[in-house]
Structure 1
Amino acid sequence: VVVAIDFGTTFSGYAFSFVRDPENILMMRKWEGGDPGVINQKTPTIILLEPHGKFHSFGFTARDAYNDLDPKDAASWLYFDKFKMVLHHQSELTKDTMIAASNGMMFPALNIFAYALKFLKDHALQELSDQSGFEIVNEDIRWVITVPAIWKAPAKQFMRQAAYSASLVSSDSPDKLLIALEPEAASIYCRKLKMHQLIPEYPIQRPLQSPKHARPEQIDTSDACNIDAGKYNMQHIDHNFCERTRYMVVDCGGGTVDITVHELNLDGKLVELHKATGGPYGAVGVDIEFEKLLCCIFGKEFIINYKQRYPVGWVNLMANFESRKRSANPTKPSSSNISLPFSFIDYHKKHRGRQVESMVKKHGDKDVRWSAQGMLRLSPEAMKLLFIPTIDKIKQAIGDVINHPNARRLKYMFLVGGFAESPIVQHEIRKEFDSNKKHIVKVLIPQAVSLAILKGAVMYGLDPTVVNVRRSRLTYGIGVLNRFDTEKHPQSKLVTRDDKEWCTDVFEKFVVTDEPVALGDVVLKSYTPAVSGQNKSIINIYCSEDENVQFITDIGVMKCGTLTLDLSENDIDVLPYRREIQILMCFGDTEIKVSAQDISTGQVVRSTIDFLNK
């Protein structure tokens, strides 16, 4: 069985497929809680811990339980929401990184992620056993966890470490867990889409017919990437499909936006043409703009104090806004009414001595009013303005990729991810890149836009070789000594060892930024331990966005990990004086992997790369 977990910033879920029936991908749809009458294919990425740090609940259950707590009790409970972004923003990520709960209390990030993964693991095992009719155990499963492609190696290793802590797999059998890149997973799913699985650009007009005389509707099962880029009206199909089709995938999630460019190869495999790019331009950006609006109306100091004193009220307020944010539509003229909690209205009157309504009027914006029903009323234009700063960043990121030489001859853009469900996002992206006035690339949006990553991750788990060429996001290398060359080395780097002149701090590159690396390709390096007979060799690994980096002291170079070689198991007495260790590093997978061999004995040397203890 392959089980894929989409661990999102705002929502999480899982899907699975039995290896004997790989075409049938099953979604989890029975989450407890949620809105009545709605089939929830994902649950909020929310964790609630008891005051002493014991796990209480996850998802809708956590949200509802927190809302039901007495305000005095809630102050001591630990509520975590949208905590995944810590891994993106934390520049010095380690196993000891802490994150803040809604009440300001700090808790180990690794424990929080492990709690979430353990909950999803237990839920999946129970669901699999219920559906199959016999008990499914953890050893029967290959797990796949999705992560943003723009994450750096430490964040990916952090997720793997959390999976070990949650007992998804053992650290002794790491191959049973795959890390899938979110836009890559979406691309794997999108390449097989049919026309009827896309959201049409305009609603399809169908005449009213008597059921007696109605004809069965023909389902268009043509490949989505077959369509004529200029005639997307669900009728015209370009049948001269070339396997070398190039397309972009824009994954708009809750926290980040990931962009990748793929080419469908002749053998059905995918080749990455442009390194994964993007940034923190997800749906959370709209929440930030809404909070800024509240600060403008009611004062920044009041909002900060309210969040600290009434964390449950703040959660309720943002949940109310979330439902309006998801339903906002540029084609519908109705305004959005956002309910403010009683604690907000009451605290404002006591703290500021004025009614909430008077502050809204004083703000003086005709598009932001206080409704007769006692709600904050945003016009469609006001709601759209909350989206624009984030959407502008997404447009800029897409434009930068389209203008890159590696992305020439692009035909299609697939828009996926939870944030891409927003009609405002869909409308603005289509207007910018695929309108009558400005046709740059054909924008295609799957029907199950928020589930594309999850389904693609299952496909990736069934065939991890489907993407056989990737582009390196960074330049990776180590610091070495080279023979000093007066013509190219600065005098400040000159050191003398054994009467020989050397250049220190030289950045020896393994792979450079945007370099294509095929699956299975390795970088081979040989090293000699500095001291004969040493039991352990530790080599620091550095990274930089600059492909022309020269020294590990250059601006922008970061120490990103350590390579540890365990040399203790060999019989030192029989080894030559100049001992050679050959290191093979693989950059063609979603994670950097390493193996090493002692050339003098032929034995494999235990080796690990640690990006979390730098």
Structure 2
Amino acid sequence: MKFVRKFQAELPVYYEKAITDYLRKIGELIKEMVASGINFLENVLIVITVPAEYLEKDKAIMRKCAYNAELIKERYSKNLQFTTEPEAAAVYCMENNLKVTDLNTPETTFMIVDCGGGTVDLTTRKLLKDKQLGEVTERAGDFCGNNSDFTNYEMDIEDVVPVVMQYVTEEVQEKMEENDWVIEFGYDDIKSMFDSVVGRIIKMIHMQLDNNRETCSAMLLVGGLSQSKYLQERIKQEFQHRVKNISVPLQPIAAISRGAALYGLSMINSAPNFENSHKFVINERVLKYTYGISHVWKKGDPIERRRSNGRIHKFLSLAQRGTVVEINQEFTSMIFPISSTQSAVDFLIYFTAKYSAQYIDEDGMEKLESLLISLPDVHYGRRPILFGLTFGRMEITASAKNQLNGQNYQTTLKFDI
């Protein structure tokens, strides 16, 4: 999504329109196949998987496109839910491989190695009670490329890249004509192309295992690249002394889509109307960012950073990156208005990939949303406000409660896209 936005000017269509049109066609197919005779907008739960690195704004764009594609009745309908690709893969493996190996018991820790078309994602999970999952360490990811099983391969230049023929030297041309412009790549040639990729994957796994606080009982390989026998053998050889069980699901490419379906079914079974579901497959996550709000200069802060109005906009951290949070867990802080006569407060919410930060203008700091609240009863002076951030399944809710009169404000971080 970020790549698409960056190169928007070079695309022949607007990216939101392309996504919307794609979702609309998918929706038409779904309605034709599975929604016959039922009210689709009222009775169908849609689960969309997104990459783990998606920001809240990226998910908001997907939600907007799904609404425009007429997959949901209201833009913020509960009938559309998100889960990340690593989480979906973990759900699939939990319901399949872990059962087969008798490892589907609480406290079992396992790693998902998702080797996809261009990236590799590593996530370590722990089985909790009632088939719930917790995240043990932060996700690790990298761009590593893709390949299939290694075999000898012949490339016919005339068919594949005929334009190259005009650039070869006369000597090379004679040799190529003798071979009918066919180049043969042997096993070792192809293997050498991917040795560095496999090496990087192995290095990432070592680092993830080193960061684990508990022993990893199983490692499950999913994604297209995981079908490579060479990669499987290298990983098993490298980690057989550290992980008891290393395996590949029967359909590793379908692990994410099938896991998303299982995730949706778990929500339906726990709360048929999706509204009050408290029993989720994914019960704990590790925060990928540090979240907080802007607050002003206090005595002892550097004077040189003061603005013309005498204030310094600092960063008050509420939830730190790397923290393990449960679904719907709230992080709060008591805030007081700057002035006793202040009749409103605008909470500016920021996030950063850093573990700690002091100022909102630091590199990597981004504004997420704002929450404007009214503060009547100015005669009470500096009224205390309990501000909180609640981390739901895939979205964040900001809230502010006036501790004197009980007024409560909240937003689900609706973005101005």
TM-score by length of 2: 0.82
Residues in 2 aligned to 1:267 and 1:146: alpha-carbon distance in whole angstroms? 23
Question: How far has the Cα of 1:401 moved from its partner?
Answer: 0.8
Question: How far has the Cα of 1:154 moved from its partner?
Answer: 3.1
Are 1:550 and 2:346 an aligned pair?
Answer: no
Q: How does 1:369-384 map to 2 (within 5 A)?
A: 372=179, 374-384=181-191
Are 1:115 and 2:21 an aligned pair?
Answer: yes
Q: How does 1:413-428 map to 2 (within 5 A)?
A: 413-428=219-234
Q: Deviations over 1:16-44 (max 9, x none)?
A: xxxxxxxxxxxxxxxxxxxxxxxxxxxxx
Residues in 1 aligned to 2:178 and 2:325: alpha-carbon distance in whole angstroms? 58
Residues in 2 aligned to 1:336 and 1:244: alpha-carbon distance in whole angstroms? 46
Question: How far has the Cα of 1:525 moved from its partner?
Answer: 3.8
Q: Deviations over 1:353-384 (max 9, x none)?
A: 768x93796xxxxxxx8994644422122222
Residues in 2 aligned to 1:279 and 1:126: alpha-carbon distance in whole angstroms? 38
Aligned residue for 2:83, secondary structure, equals strand
Residues in 2 aligned to 1:482 and 1:462: alpha-carbon distance in whole angstroms? 49
Residues in 1 aligned to 2:211 and 2:173: alpha-carbon distance in whole angstroms? 48
Question: How far has the Cα of 1:254 moved from its partner?
Answer: 1.7
Corresponding residue for 1:193? 96
Are 1:254 and 2:117 an aligned pair?
Answer: yes
Residues in 2 aligned to 1:518 and 1:266: alpha-carbon distance in whole angstroms? 13
Corresponding residue for 1:594? 398
Return closer, same or farther for 1:370/1:257 CA change in 2, 3 Å cut-off.
farther
Q: 2:218 aligns with which of 403, 412, 416?
A: 412
Contact 1:597 / 1:605 at 8 angstroms: preserved in 2? Answer: yes
Corresponding residue for 1:392? 199
Question: How far has the Cα of 1:135 moved from its partner?
Answer: 4.9
Q: 1:458 aligns with which of 253, 261, 264?
A: 261
Return closer, same or farther for 1:160/1:258 CA change in 2, 3 Å cut-off.
farther
Question: How far has the Cα of 1:248 moved from its partner?
Answer: 0.7
Residues in 2 aligned to 1:394 and 1:126: alpha-carbon distance in whole angstroms? 41
Q: Is there any run of 5+ residues in structure 1 with no aligned partner, and where?
A: 1-85, 196-221, 227-240, 287-324, 362-368
Q: 1:493 aligns with which of 292, 295, 305?
A: 305
Return closer, same or farther for 1:344/1:255 CA change in 2, 3 Å cut-off.
closer
Question: How far has the Cα of 1:476 moved from its partner?
Answer: 1.3
Corresponding residue for 2:274? none
Are 1:431 and 2:226 an aligned pair?
Answer: no
Aligned residue for 2:130, secondary structure, equals coil
Aligned residue for 2:194, secondary structure, equals helix
Q: How does 1:245-394 map to 2 (within 5 A)?
A: 245-281=108-144, 285-286=145-146, 325-326=147-148, 328-329=149-150, 334-340=151-157, 342=159, 344-345=161-162, 347-349=163-165, 352=167, 358=172, 372=179, 374-394=181-201
Q: How does 1:167-182 map to 2 (within 5 A)?
A: 167-182=70-85
Are 1:145 and 2:48 an aligned pair?
Answer: yes
Return closer, same or farther for 1:575/1:459 CA change in 2, 3 Å cut-off.
farther
Residues in 2 aligned to 1:510 and 1:409: alpha-carbon distance in whole angstroms? 30
Contact 2:41 / 2:73 at 8 angstroms: preserved in 1? Answer: no
Are 1:126 and 2:3 an aligned pair?
Answer: no
Return closer, same or farther for 1:152/1:117 CA change in 2, 3 Å cut-off.
same
Question: How far has the Cα of 1:419 moved from its partner?
Answer: 2.6
Corresponding residue for 1:35? none
Corresponding residue for 2:328? 520
2:43 aligned partner, one-letter code: D
Residues in 2 aligned to 1:612 and 1:391: alpha-carbon distance in whole angstroms? 41
Question: How far has the Cα of 1:403 moved from its partner?
Answer: 0.7
Question: How far has the Cα of 1:261 moved from its partner?
Answer: 0.9
Residues in 1 aligned to 2:307 and 2:295: alpha-carbon distance in whole angstroms? 12
Corresponding residue for 2:100? 223
2:210 aligned partner, one-letter code: N
Q: 1:561 aligns with which of 368, 378, 384?
A: 368
1:445 aligned partner, one-letter code: V
Contact 1:580 / 1:598 at 8 angstroms: preserved in 2? Answer: yes
Residues in 2 aligned to 1:178 and 1:154: alpha-carbon distance in whole angstroms? 15
Corresponding residue for 2:272? none
Are 1:480 and 2:295 an aligned pair?
Answer: yes
Aligned residue for 1:274, secondary structure, equals coil
Question: How far has the Cα of 1:515 moved from its partner?
Answer: 0.6
Q: 2:317 aligns with which of 509, 532, 537?
A: 509
Contact 1:98 / 1:106 at 8 angstroms: preserved in 2? Answer: no
Q: Report the number of matched residues.
A: 404
2:223 aligned partner, one-letter code: G
Q: Deviations over 1:547-586 (max 9, x none)?
A: 23233344x432142223365xx9x689966566544311
TM-score by length of 1: 0.58
2:246 aligned partner, one-letter code: V
Residues in 1 aligned to 2:25 and 2:85: alpha-carbon distance in whole angstroms? 21
Identity %: 24
Residues in 1 aligned to 2:379 and 2:185: alpha-carbon distance in whole angstroms? 76
Corresponding residue for 1:38? none
Return closer, same or farther for 1:575/1:452 CA change in 2, 3 Å cut-off.
farther
Return closer, same or farther for 1:184/1:472 CA change in 2, 3 Å cut-off.
same
Aligned residue for 1:550, secondary structure, equals coil
Question: How far has the Cα of 1:455 moved from its partner?
Answer: 1.5
Q: Deviations over 1:529-548 (max 9, x none)?
A: 6686867x644333233323
1:447 aligned partner, one-letter code: L
Corresponding residue for 1:205? none
Return closer, same or farther for 1:280/1:594 CA change in 2, 3 Å cut-off.
farther
Are 1:158 and 2:35 an aligned pair?
Answer: no
Residues in 2 aligned to 1:539 and 1:423: alpha-carbon distance in whole angstroms? 53
Aligned residue for 2:372, secondary structure, equals strand
Question: How far has the Cα of 1:139 moved from its partner?
Answer: 2.5
Tell which deviates more after alignment, 588-597 or 179-188.
588-597
Aligned residue for 2:204, secondary structure, equals helix
Return closer, same or farther for 1:378/1:423 CA change in 2, 3 Å cut-off.
same
Q: Is there any run of 5+ residues in structure 2 with no aligned partner, and where?
A: 268-279
2:411 aligned partner, one-letter code: S
Question: How far has the Cα of 1:167 moved from its partner?
Answer: 2.5
Corresponding residue for 1:442? 245
Question: How far has the Cα of 1:612 moved from its partner?
Answer: 6.4
2:196 aligned partner, one-letter code: P
Q: Deviations over 1:439-497 (max 9, x none)?
A: 54531111111111111111211235122111111111122114223xxx444335797
Aligned residue for 2:197, secondary structure, equals helix
Question: How far has the Cα of 1:116 moved from its partner?
Answer: 1.9
- After superposition, the CA RMSD in angstroms is 3.5
Return closer, same or farther for 1:519/1:608 CA change in 2, 3 Å cut-off.
closer
Corresponding residue for 1:467? 282
2:235 aligned partner, one-letter code: I
1:224 aligned partner, one-letter code: T
